[in-house]
Every structure is written in structure tokens, then in C-alpha cells.
Chain A
Amino acid sequence: MPDLSTNTGGIQSPNPFWLASAPPANSGRQIQRAFEAGWGGAVWKTLGVPIQNVSSRFAGHTIRGVQAAGFTNIELITDRPLETNLREIAETKRLFPKNPIIVSLMVETEAEWREIIKKSIDAGADGLELNFGCPHGMCERGMGSAVGQEPAVNERITGWAVKYSTVPVLVKLTPNVGNIVPHGLAARRGGAHGVSLINTIKSIIGVDIDRFIPLPRVGNLSTNGGYCGSAVKPIALHMVAALAREKEFGLPISGIGGISNWRDAVEFILLGSSTVQVATEVMLRGYNIVEDMKDGLHEYMRTHGFDRIDQMVGKAIPAYSDWGHLDMNYETVAKIDADKCIGCQLCVAACHDGAHQCIHPQQDTRVPHVDEAECVGCNLCQIVCPVPNCITMTPVDNGHSPASWNEFLHEGKTLRPKKGAH
């Protein structure tokens, strides 16, 4: 019976699924309903000096008919009175003592940090998350991503928080940087117990092409928002993995970014996250999605022989390497199963127009022919094929022993002849 419980930087949780600091974690009643639905923990929507929001605040990016495959928001931190939030934190802790509440914070001066940290911990916070990530609005006031983009400032404020906190401190990192690693290391130097990433990506989600105004539209103006939702998952996975593989880093990670289901969560865990945070999918479908997340993860663990989450964390990191270490002599070619092929020839079009022109129609059958001598093994045909397991990328024994680009450069190893490069 797999155990879903987790520990992120000293924060214990009955399962790895947390609400991210966002509209679904805005109030006590919401978070209580989320815990009732099965969420493990919640990161309370960022406390600070209450702000005022605009309307509208959200917009979705539709991809091939899929609504809100990407999502944006221009909402700021909490707009509710601090005392209300604190009272509801205490009430929620009383009702759900086993579910961790991590309070997200964003203020400016050291004195403000000291005060809000004390109040949060007095209210019952199990952990703190420093919001150094918000890429819209707050950064114009010198907070959010304005902090996260400056390692020295990040380190200094993290240091304050750790000094004044008696509970674990997570630093929430912004993806709006060229390389995430220095920012993770800055949090580490500041004494953080863990990091959470990614926050949203600075973006313009679209344009109202009739009014000539970017989206979301606030009257006759718009502003850049924070991009999130399923579409940002690959970016988030990379940043999580970049920190997880960094030898100097070594802090626990709470993964965030486009996690919509148990499968996404497994991927984040395998790349180094010990908990995952979700907001957009909850905003689109509600708290009940967690049931599938939990039992999908449970079933995955059962069928893959994992008893505990920590056995999975970072399991795919050893296989994440630099391009220079990839085996240049590993060769695959596409094989089409003629019995399964339905003759749609999507692979012909894809290979001819989008790849290396090695899949050809034949005279007497709709099943295309793969010219294996020309096939570069790119996978495009397999990606477009609508029939499961019809096209298989099959390894070829070409007689060449493994050799990476680095080994070719520095050790003189032999590379196989290029294919499709004439």
C-alpha cells in the first residue's frame, strides 16, 4: 500500500498535492473545502499590505479548440484585511490540524517582514513561502519578481525571513530569468529550507484584434500578465530539473507550473519535486480534481513498486544530461506496422514537409514505405500517427560503439556517418 505522505523542507503533508498561492487559496472557507476534497496542503494567497485589483483579471489561451490550455492573470496579492486572513488561518488549522498551511508573504522592509512572519506563525502557519516571483504589478513596487531577479536581494530578504521564522521557509522563484540556478543558490545562501518554482511567466496572452488592445482588457488598456496553466509545464519541468541536478543546491523543491493531473505530478516528482502545487487547473475545474490526482499517483506507485514518495523524488535526474554527453551513435529508424496502418499517410506529409523526406507513398498499397537508409530517427512520423503502436522507432545495430560529441572532440572517438544531410 503506497504511502503518499511527503516532507518538503520539514513541512509534513499527508499527500504531495498543495494548492498554490493563488485565487483557489484565497480564504479559509475555500481552503477548508479543498482539504475536505482531499488536498494535502495549501499555500495561502500572498499576505502583505492589502491591494486593490482590477477587472478583468484573467484570460485564456485556446489551442486547437482546447480552452485555456494556457492561462494568464493580472491579479495581485491578497486584497483582504490581514486580520481576516490570520483569523481564518487559525480557524483552518484548528479544523484541519494535519494539513499544512504555508503562508505566502510579500512585504518590503525588514521590520515589515519580522512583523508579518510573527503574525503568520502565531496564526498557525506550518511554513512560509516568500513570494519573490510575481511578474506583474507588485514588481513595479519593488517586490515580487523584482526581488527574485536579483540574487543579492533574494539572499538578504531570505536571510531576514529565516532569522525571524520558527517554521520552515520556502522561497518561491521567478522563471523570468536567463538561468534559474544562481537564484536557487541565492535562496540557499540566505538559509531557505526549500524552494518552490515556477511562479508565472511574464507574458501577453493575446490581443483583442478588433479593439487593438492586448488581453486581458481593462477598459481601454491592458498590461503584461503572469502566464501559467498546462502550456507552461515544459518550462517549469526544465527549471525544476536544472536546480535538482545542481550539485551545490540540494534543497527540497515544491514543483509548480501547469500541473493538471497525476501524470504531470509524477513527472515533477521524478525531476526532483517532493510536493507539487496546483492553481490553474483548480480554477478551471474545481477542487475535486484532486481525487484523480491522488488515486492516479497511488496506482502509479503501486504498479511501479514505489512505497513512498521520497523513493521517486529525482528518479529521472541521473538521465538528464547535457547534449554533449548524448550517444551520437545511437540510431533508430521508423518501422510502420502494415497490419495496423490505416493508410492516412499523415506520416508521409509530416516527413516530406517537416522532416527528412524518407517516408514515401507506394503504388499498390496505402501503407507508406520507410527508406531506412535515409531515416534520421526524428520521431515526427510517430508523433503524427493516429494509430497506437503503428509506427515504432526501432534501434538499429550499426556496429558503432557509443560515442558522445564530447568524446569525439576530446578523445577522438569515431562517429557514425551522418544521415539525411545531403
Chain B
Amino acid sequence: MNSHLPANRAETAFEDFKLPLLRDAAMVEANRCLFCSDAPCITACPTHIDIPQFIRKISTDNVHGSAKTIFESNILGMSCARVCPVEVLCVGACVYNEMEQPPIAIGKLQRYATDVAFAEGWKFFEAGKDTGKRVALIGAGPASLAAAHELRRLGHACTIFERKDTIGGLNASGVAPYKMKAERALAEAEWVLSIGGIDVRTGVNVGEQVSLASLEKDFDAVFVGAGLGADSSLGIPGEDLVGVQGAVAWIERMKLGKIDLSKVRHAVVIGGGNTAVDASRELRGLGVPSVIMLYRGAQDGMSGYAHEWSAAFSKGATAEWKAVATALTGTGHVQGVQCVRVDDNKKPIPGTEFALEADLVLMAIGQSKLGHMLDSLTGIRVERGRIMVDEHGYTGRPRWYAGGDCTNAGKEVVNAVAEGKIAAHAIDAAIMGITGIMGSKPASTGGKSHA
């Protein structure tokens, strides 16, 4: 696997937009926490980290215990501290919001504890006693990493098949660089793997170099954490022009390599989700003078988070709401976008056509779904590319489980971690012959640990 990234990657131009807390500031903030009973922040966290407990431990300078509490529930707790949309999760649920006081800076406190843990090189977990069982995992993103780590704690051998050369999935290749850069995601992935007994095979396409049949034959269970596929396209004229790119692919190049934006004056990002918002803010941050996000819906209907758009807007990105692209124009290289305004039903309004200048167009209208790679396996239901699973990550085909973006169609890292961990317990129950449940009750995601 490739954990050596080139220096001077495009993403290194960005600074962290949220500053870390120093020890004293962390303790002051931690002391504000009310240590709520049945705390709403825990419920709001998909991995159910015992947030009041880890914060209390910071307040007593028990940073080791604090980090352990975090990682016990969320093994990618260091990156989640940076990339989670805490405003709509734990911080949004903090009771201080109810009294119109600033909520506890939970993300920053989690970052403080987990950063100390990494700086100190602390390890918290050991592999379980060898069960002799083997589990294959498809994809090396957050869902598979979390599942594999949990499976190792339960004593099962793991093999991860990753089609790319880099592990970490979108956590390494897709996170906005002002939140986290790729090397940190890779360092965390390596830390997760350091539990031992996880064989990672990069550059391997399941279905090509390794067949589904051979996985089923060689392993006791399979976890599919394949993520999403290539950026989708609109199917309008001009999408093959030079300068028209998929947003996810562009962000990956920006994070893992170098890109040349020196000739780009006008960029148009088509879409209204968080990828579109991130790409707009990143283009501004890399010095593109004009960045316009083109979205077919109204501002309050966008799937991108309002607080993220507000940050992008403050960095100089603008938007055309309720408008769609009808064609990309130019000879050889893209030069413009033909647009038309749409009504509330997204129907074009005749006579409202307009054009935008563009020497770079990023398509951020979603990614293809990879579920059809499993079409040949009876018992697995795939709907519009999504792999359908129950609450334990079970696909319906014995010994096949799935989680992360390939099942939820693209949520947060923290959702993938939660789903991977839940599936790991279900796999454990199934392959160890624990009857009565498709997957065991995921007790250890409840945020409780007893030393």
C-alpha cells in the first residue's frame, strides 16, 4: 500500500480552518460540560461515543482515558474529530443550545484528546484470541477499517481488498484539506492496522483479479465496504471537452497530487451537495478568481450543509440557484456553460436562458453506485446501485455483510465507522454460530467501557 504521498501536493496550500485547543483551553472548555445524564450528544453521534465521559476525563487531565473512551466507540475518532459535521450531530444536540449559550466544542475536545494520543503513540487495543475464522473485506475505506479492527479484537483474521493504491477511502482522498489532509488520514489508517492480522491487498479489483466465488470459498464471511464509484455525468452536450471533470476525481487529484489552476479564471461547479460546496471553497482557496456553484434547487433545498455553504460563500464562492446546465460550450477546451432557470418543479422556464464563462467545470451531481458488482450473488438485493442491508449490515445472503457509502449512498465517515462496527459484531455472531440473531447486539457501540 502507498502511504508515501508526494510533497507540495495541491492540498498543502490550505491551513486548518479550526485551530486546535491547547491544554489549558481544553480544560476550561471541558469544565463547562455539564456531564448530562442520558446525554443528547451521545445519541446524536452515530458511533455513540460517551462524550460527557471523555470530556470529563479531559477536565481531570486524564487524556489517556479520554482518548480510550473515544476510540473504544470510534476507531477513526481522530479524523472524525476533524471531519464530522458536528454542527448537525453532537454539538447540535448539546443542551447549551437550549439555553442559547455556546454549545460545548465537542469536536475540538475530541481532537485535543486524540491528537495527544497520536503524539504520545498510545495503543489501546489488542487482537482477540485467534478464532481460526477469516473475513474478507472489499474496500479499504472507513467502513472496512472499522469493521476489520473490530473483527481483529474479536480474534478473526482479516484480508482487505482495495482497488486503488491508497488506503483510507474518501477519508484520505475526499476530505476538504482545510479540515484534514491526506497524510493524517493515512497515519490513522496505519494506526488502525497496527492491531495486526489485517492483510491489505491494494490494487486488487474484486470481480477481476479476485472473483466473488473465490472470496465465498476462501473466507468465512465477506464485508462489502466498497464505497461509491465514478462521478456521475449529466448527459448534456460538451461533457467530453477538456476542462470538464468529475468533482470527486478532481478533489482526489488535488489531495494526493498536484494540479495546475494557473490558467483558470472562471470555474463552475454543478451540484448542490457537500461535494459541490467543498469543491467551490477549495477552488477559491487555491486562487481561482471566480467560482460559481450552479444548483437546480433553491438555497434552502440544497443537500450541502448550510454552515458549509456559508463558509464557502464567505470565501468568495457564489451560487446560481434554481438553474440547470443545458450544454457545455467551447472548441476542444470548455469555455462556457449554457444555463436555464427552472421552476419549483425543476422545469425549465422558457426565455430565462443565460450563459456563464467557464474554463473549468466540475460535475458534483453524485457518484455511481457499485452495488451491481454483486448482481451475480443471489439473495443480495441491490436497488439503484445501493446494496440493501438490515440494521446489522446483513445483505440477506448468508455470510455477506455490507456498510458505508455502498449501502447508505454517501454519508459521513462516522456513519461508515458505525456501520462497519455493527456489521463486525453481526459477522462474529454468525461465524461463531451464535444463534437467534442475524447479527449480535452491537453492545460495544453503546459508548460504555468498564476498565
A residues in contact (CB < 8 Å) with B: 38, 66, 261-263, 285-286, 288-289, 291-292, 294-296, 298-299, 386, 388
Neighbouring A residues of B62 by C-beta, 8 Å: 261-262, 292, 295-296, 299
Closest B residue to A15 by beta carbon equals B451
Say whether A296 contacts B65, CB under 8 Å.
yes
Closest A residue to B52 by beta carbon equals A288
Alpha-carbon separation in the docked complex, A58 to B266 (Å): 67
Closest B residue to A292 by beta carbon equals B57
Closest Cβ–Cβ distance, residue B109 to chain A (whole Å):
14
Of all A-B residue pairs in the complex, the 3 with the closest CB atoms, nearest first, are: A296-B62, A295-B65, A261-B60
Say whether B23 contacts A291, CB under 8 Å.
no
Alpha-carbon separation in the docked complex, A298 to B64 (Å): 11
Neighbouring B residues of A286 by C-beta, 8 Å: 35, 37
Number of chain B interface residues as a range: 10 to 19
Neighbouring A residues of B57 by C-beta, 8 Å: 292, 295-296
Closest B residue to A291 by beta carbon equals B53
Alpha-carbon separation in the docked complex, A223 to B13 (Å): 67
Closest Cβ–Cβ distance, residue A260 to chain B (whole Å):
8
Alpha-carbon separation in the docked complex, A388 to B62 (Å): 17
Neighbouring B residues of A299 by C-beta, 8 Å: 62, 64-65
Say whether A263 contacts B451, CB under 8 Å.
no
Alpha-carbon separation in the docked complex, A386 to B23 (Å): 11
Alpha-carbon separation in the docked complex, A119 to B23 (Å): 52
Q: Number of residue pairs across A and B with beta carbons under 8 Å?
A: 47
Say whether B60 contacts A262, CB under 8 Å.
yes
Say whether B451 contacts A295, CB under 8 Å.
yes
Interchain residue pairs with CB less than 8 A apart (26) = A38-B451, A66-B31, A261-B60, A261-B62, A262-B62, A263-B60, A263-B61, A285-B35, A286-B35, A288-B35, A288-B53, A289-B35, A291-B53, A291-B65, A291-B450, A292-B53, A292-B56, A292-B62, A295-B62, A295-B64, A295-B451, A296-B62, A298-B451, A299-B64, A388-B22, A388-B23
Neighbouring B residues of A38 by C-beta, 8 Å: 450-451
B68 at the interface (CB under 8 A from A): yes
Say whether A386 contacts B24, CB under 8 Å.
yes
Neighbouring A residues of B68 by C-beta, 8 Å: 295
Say whether B451 contacts A294, CB under 8 Å.
yes
Q: Which of B251-305 contact A (CB under 8 A)?
A: none
Interface centre among B61, B65, B68 (most CB of A within 10 A): B65
Closest Cβ–Cβ distance, residue A189 to chain B (whole Å):
39
Neighbouring A residues of B449 by C-beta, 8 Å: 291
Interface centre among B23, B31, B35 (most CB of A within 10 A): B35
Closest Cβ–Cβ distance, residue B29 to chain A (whole Å):
14
Neighbouring B residues of A298 by C-beta, 8 Å: 451
Neighbouring A residues of B60 by C-beta, 8 Å: 261-263, 292, 296
Neighbouring B residues of A289 by C-beta, 8 Å: 35, 56
Alpha-carbon separation in the docked complex, A292 to B55 (Å): 10
Closest B residue to A263 by beta carbon equals B60
Known contacts A291-B450, A294-B451, then 4 further A-B pairs from the complex at CB < 8 Å, ordered by chain A residue: A285-B56, A289-B35, A295-B64, A388-B22
Closest Cβ–Cβ distance, residue A369 to chain B (whole Å):
25
Alpha-carbon separation in the docked complex, A248 to B24 (Å): 44
Closest Cβ–Cβ distance, residue B348 to chain A (whole Å):
58
Neighbouring B residues of A292 by C-beta, 8 Å: 53, 56-57, 60, 62, 65
Alpha-carbon separation in the docked complex, A388 to B31 (Å): 18
Alpha-carbon separation in the docked complex, A295 to B35 (Å): 17
Neighbouring B residues of A263 by C-beta, 8 Å: 60-61
Closest Cβ–Cβ distance, residue A68 to chain B (whole Å):
12
Alpha-carbon separation in the docked complex, A292 to B53 (Å): 7
Alpha-carbon separation in the docked complex, A291 to B53 (Å): 8
Beta-carbon contacts of B30-72 to A below 8 Å, as 1s and 0s?
0100010100000000000000010011001110110010000
Neighbouring B residues of A294 by C-beta, 8 Å: 451
Closest Cβ–Cβ distance, residue A3 to chain B (whole Å):
13
Neighbouring A residues of B64 by C-beta, 8 Å: 295, 299
Alpha-carbon separation in the docked complex, A89 to B23 (Å): 44
Closest A residue to B22 by beta carbon equals A388
Alpha-carbon separation in the docked complex, A170 to B353 (Å): 89
Alpha-carbon separation in the docked complex, A296 to B449 (Å): 14
Neighbouring A residues of B56 by C-beta, 8 Å: 285, 289, 292
Alpha-carbon separation in the docked complex, A285 to B24 (Å): 22
Closest Cβ–Cβ distance, residue A362 to chain B (whole Å):
25
Alpha-carbon separation in the docked complex, A38 to B53 (Å): 14
Q: Which of B394-451 contact A (CB under 8 A)?
A: 449-451
Neighbouring A residues of B53 by C-beta, 8 Å: 288, 291-292
Interface centre among B24, B56, B64, B451 (most CB of A within 10 A): B451
Closest Cβ–Cβ distance, residue B412 to chain A (whole Å):
27
Alpha-carbon separation in the docked complex, A298 to B450 (Å): 12
Closest B residue to A387 by beta carbon equals B24
Alpha-carbon separation in the docked complex, A296 to B63 (Å): 9
Alpha-carbon separation in the docked complex, A299 to B35 (Å): 22
Neighbouring B residues of A388 by C-beta, 8 Å: 22-24
